[in-house]
Amino acid sequence: MHALLNVAVMAARQAGNVLIRRMNNLDKLKVEEKSRNDYVTDADRAAERAVIETIRKHYPEHAILAEESGQDGDGDICWIIDPLDGTTNYLHGFPVFSVSIGVQVKGRIEHAAVYDPIRQELFTASRGDGAQLDGRRIRVSRQTQLERALIGTGFPYKLIDQEMAPYLRMLENVLRNTAGVRRPGSAALDLCYVAAGRLDGFWETGLKSWDLAAGSLIIREAGGIVSGLDGSENFLESGHVLTGSPKIYAALARLCANDIKAILHAA
């Protein structure tokens, strides 16, 4: 395992331990609403501190971009951190959330770790070395027929007035033409589930770079395709993502071409 990935794994596990310990006292957590349906808790901040402390112990000179504390430092290597992806789930004791850490080197994500503390599942990847789940190689699904595909999504909360109508048209279209749609509530885990073949495809809008950085590399190293809704490479900046195994990605893009244009226009 590459040294940078090894530190990412250690940091993710440390943060996961913090989150699990604090789950026993959810009613005592201090909760702030940053914006509609966007919360931050003491657990988010404590988990983020655990990640940053682990990184700083080994690489004090590296830059960090973290959801709660923002940008710290500058340089060729930047750690992109979501200490608790799925805060709303976590607050309700709904057991779907994760820690996501991507390592960006000269503008490209080179290493990634996503940790599910509930299931103790660790998804990892380094560019060119494939993707793993708990050390075992994973690949995207071999499904080729959209009507048999299971697709993941996330609901648009940031620009709900503008995006909800075109999003719901896309959701209906996907529901009518696939085996089903799932919305677990942690985008980082959804991306990993595509990589592991548990989902055949996924789309969402309004995400942040820390939601996507790690999972996008894990998908690509598992043989999948990930892009913006418009097929572009700027999904870390736009926050709009479409992904899947090659056949399902292409089928989704064709099926929802008009809906995607409407969503992008609304955004």
Q: Do domains 3-138 and 146-266 have the same CATH topology?
A: no
What is 174-241 written as a DSSP string? HHHHSSEEE--S-HHHHHHHHHTTSSSEEEESS--HHHHHHHHHHHHHTT-EEE-TTS-S-HHHH--E
Looking at domain 146-266, does it have CATH number 3.40.190.80?
yes
Which pLDDT score, from 0 to 100, does residue 126 have? 98
Q: Is the confidence at residue 95, as pLDDT, over 80?
A: yes
Contact 115, 104 (CB under 8 A): no
Cα→Cα distances 266→158, 230, 246, Å: 12, 13, 27
243: β partners: 202, 226
Q: Is the confidence at residue 37, as pLDDT, over 60?
A: no
Q: Is the confidence at residue 236, as pLDDT, over 90?
A: yes
Query: Domain-by-domain residue ranges, the chain?
Result: 3-138, 146-266
In this prediction, residue 34 has a pLDDT band, given cuts at 50, 70 and 90, of low
Residues sharing a CB contact under 8 Å with residue 144, sequence separation 6 or more, in sequence order = 247, 248
Q: Is the confidence at residue 31, as pLDDT, over 80?
A: no
Over the stretch 117-173, which tens digit does the pLDDT of each residue have?
Answer: 999 999 999 999 999 999 999 999 999 999 999 999 998 876 566 678 888 999 999
How is residue 261 written in tokens? 């244009």
Which pLDDT score, from 0 to 100, does residue 39 have? 66
Q: Is the confidence at residue 27, as pLDDT, over 80?
A: no
| Rounded percentage of the chain residues whose pLDDT exceeds 70 | 95
Mean pLDDT rounded to a whole number for the chain: 92
Q: Is the confidence at residue 237, as pLDDT, over 70?
A: yes
Q: What is the CATH number of domain 3-138?
A: 3.30.540.10
